[in-house]
Chains A and B, each alone.
Chain A
Amino acid sequence: MTDWSMKSIQFYRTMRLIRRFEEEVRRLVNANEIAGVAHEYIGEEAVATGVCAALTDADILTSTHRGHGHLLARGADVNAMMAELFGRTTGLNRGRGGSMHIADFSLGVYGANGIVAAGAPIAVGAAWALQARGRPGVAVTFFGDGGINQGVLAEAMNMAAIWNLPVVFVCENNGFAVTARITEMSKVPIAERASSFGFPVISVDGMDPRDVFEAASQIVSDARGGSGPHFLECRTYRYVGHHTAEATMNLTYRTDEEIATMRERDPLVVWPALMIKEGFMSDRQKEEIDAEVDASLARAVEFARNSAEPLAESAFDYAYASSDFPGFPAPGWRHAL
């Protein structure tokens, strides 16, 4: 098999896994098996897939509130991810984080984050620490078009620039900050705004995993070689709401026609069709991947359902790395002396 054939299949498998994982999560949230809400990555799969395929084990990343795709693309254990969303002790975060804080430090994933662009300065500091400790890693920080308007992102970009750190700022521009269009919330296009910090900015089609991967590979390799930070805008789109609960809200910020138009560019349709047409993947391979992904998700849901709930008395566990003090942390109703 050629390199591209392997890559095209790998990209399809990752994107398919993300898509189907998110569809399962939607179903399970609506069935009240998963508590709270989840921000689905549906439509944006090519971004995480392309960027993470360019990374090595030495690299770290900070994610967003829409973080499942980044973890899956990084190779996180599907069972442990699903168990986390179920709030079980076998989850990646032992049931303490859920969708919005899901993390896997063993893969260098410093976590999804409930605050827009809050991971950016954290990634910059991690990149500095890797360098200070003589490690070869690059830090990738994901954020959306909404994140471009957070002050802390500008602070982080400037610090990465003045200290020439190996940081890749990946803007997943899906067009909307919850319900507000980026074109309403920024007078200047994102790539133009990013261009004033003194490092290279590239904008790619975020619906095409090959475009994303090729740009990311070049950038990550340059950053690893000491060229300092880079900014990668991936133009993408989310096909579903800001989160799982949006379907019940009757929001009117975009039309069904707009979504239908963007659906024509769905990477889960366009990419496999192109790869089959160009002979990099066969129909049968696609069917096998689809079946494997579905089976792995069925196993993950079963694993999560059968995993233990945390013990009630463990509610304060992990609040502190060191909590060996009497009555600390304080319980909610009475001091234990």
Chain B
Amino acid sequence: MTSVRYLEALRQGLHDEMERDPRVFVIGEDVRQGIRGITRGLFADFGPERVIDTPISEAGFTGFATGAALAGMRPVVEFQVPSLMFLAFEQIVNQAQKFSLMTGGQARVPVTYILAGSGARRGLAGQHSDHPYSLLIHAGVKTVIPATAEDAYGLLLSAIRDDDPVALFSPAAVQSSRGELSDDRPVVPLGTARVHRRGEDVTVVAVGHLVPVVLRSAEKLEKEDISVEVFDPRSLLPFDHAALVRSVAHTGRVLVCDDSYRTAGFGAEVAAFVAEECFESLRAPVRRVTRADVPVPFSVLLEDQVVPTQEVVVTAIRDLVRTDKLQS
């Protein structure tokens, strides 16, 4: 076991995969200098053929990656902030994602998109605080969002080795967190959830950086005799439905904590799934804690009114469990 920071685990994962597979290269803005941290040092190790700085042309270099993938390479594209994905949306969801079906399986597009420093970062305001994973999964793009260093390493490897486009969100709020990376450096398969903590009263589906927030909330609520199961999907699409069904069958209550917009967001999808497929297990309505449907305001005080905070999470769990637990 080695203790590593989340960002270092991603960097290590990328490094190991580039060493293992000569088809893997990384492309994006300022990746030679590695200003987001993930690619730091790779230029020295792999040179200009495999660490490629691009012009400020997000749609262009995203399409470039698709073309390189079609011609046999395995590109890793870094977006410096997730909002830049909006400029490349056509090339991701309408080109790369659709090529396989549209060509009747002639084409494969093994591209990995790294959405670095995703989510709000205190004071970065409207255009640098987005968390647009719900948009990608809505368009069918395989999407993962590791919450720990170990999952960051293991999911990045799975993303790069997958033969389809895969987006990996790296939430700003966990990038400096530390975790244990076991010496065998396991690959984490897509579509497998991780239960961080077993509980009896409620399943809290926590996405990305909300995993540590929910874990802290669970510790706090233990003192109030509320037992929380912390369910981390890790892979939003494909999603581990079977694991969630098992968890809900045990707890009978579900809260989704999802830092993306509320309307038609990931939380809405989980809530709809649970309502459709787990109705008999439910003892209470499914609840959601999400980002509000507004851009993140600059003022830090206002930001806390828009994005999910620990205070809101604790209250939501308490309300959901107490409402009927006290009655019974």
Q: Cβ of B73: which chain A residues have Cβ within 8 Å of it?
A: 129, 132-133
A247 at the interface (CB under 8 A from B): no
B120 at the interface (CB under 8 A from A): no
Q: Cβ of A326: which chain B residues have Cβ within 8 Å of it?
A: 191, 241-242
How distant is the Cα of A139 from the Cα of B103 in the complex, in angstroms? 19
Distance in angstroms from B52 CB to nearest chain A CB is 8
Distance in angstroms from B157 CB to nearest chain A CB is 14
Task: Indicate whether A115 sits within 8 Å of B95 (C-beta atoms), given known contacts A93-B102, A126-B71, A129-B73.
Answer: yes
Q: Cβ of B237: which chain A residues have Cβ within 8 Å of it?
A: 328
Q: What range describes how many residues of A lie at the interface? A: 35 or more
- One of B105-113, B294-302, B307-315 contacting the partner: B105-113
Q: How many A-B residue pairs have CB under 8 A?
A: 174
Task: Indicate whether A329 sits within 8 Å of B63 (C-beta atoms), given known contacts A129-B68, A133-B72, A322-B164.
Answer: no
A9 at the interface (CB under 8 A from B): no
Task: Find out whether the CB atom of B60 lies under 8 angstroms from the CB atom of A96.
Answer: no
Contact with B along A95-134 (1 / 0, CB 8 A): 1110001011110001101110010111111111110110
A60 at the interface (CB under 8 A from B): yes
Distance in angstroms from A155 CB to nearest chain B CB is 3
Distance in angstroms from B123 CB to nearest chain A CB is 30
Q: Cβ of A104: which chain B residues have Cβ within 8 Å of it?
A: 106
Task: Find out whether the CB atom of B64 lies under 8 angstroms from the CB atom of A128.
Answer: yes
B163 at the interface (CB under 8 A from A): yes
How distant is the Cα of A93 from the Cα of B106 in the complex, in angstroms? 7
Task: Find out whether the CB atom of B67 lies under 8 angstroms from the CB atom of A124.
Answer: yes
Q: Which of B186-205 contact A (CB under 8 A)?
A: 190-191
Q: Cβ of B108: which chain A residues have Cβ within 8 Å of it?
A: 321
B49 at the interface (CB under 8 A from A): yes
Q: Cβ of B110: which chain A residues have Cβ within 8 Å of it?
A: 321
Q: Cβ of B103: which chain A residues have Cβ within 8 Å of it?
A: 93, 96-97, 101, 103, 105, 111, 318
Q: Which of B32-81 contact A (CB under 8 A)?
A: 49, 54-55, 57, 59-73, 75
Contact with B along A47-68 (1 / 0, CB 8 A): 0000000000000101000000
Task: Indicate whether A122 sits within 8 Å of B101 (C-beta atoms), given known contacts A60-B71, A156-B63.
Answer: no
**Closest residue on chain A to residue B94 by CB atoms:** A115
Task: Find out whether the CB atom of A158 lies under 8 angstroms from the CB atom of B70.
Answer: no
Q: Cβ of A327: which chain B residues have Cβ within 8 Å of it?
A: 241
B304 at the interface (CB under 8 A from A): no
How distant is the Cα of A152 from the Cα of B57 in the complex, in angstroms? 8
A311 at the interface (CB under 8 A from B): no
A334 at the interface (CB under 8 A from B): yes
Write the residues of chain A forming the contact surface with B, with a CB cutoff of 8 angstroms: 60, 62, 91-97, 101, 103-106, 110-111, 113-115, 118, 120-130, 132-133, 139, 151-152, 155-156, 158-159, 162, 317-323, 325-329, 334-335, 337
Can you name 7 extra interface pairs (CB under 8 A) apart from A111-B99, A124-B64? Answer: A121-B61, A121-B66, A122-B66, A122-B95, A128-B64, A129-B67, A335-B241
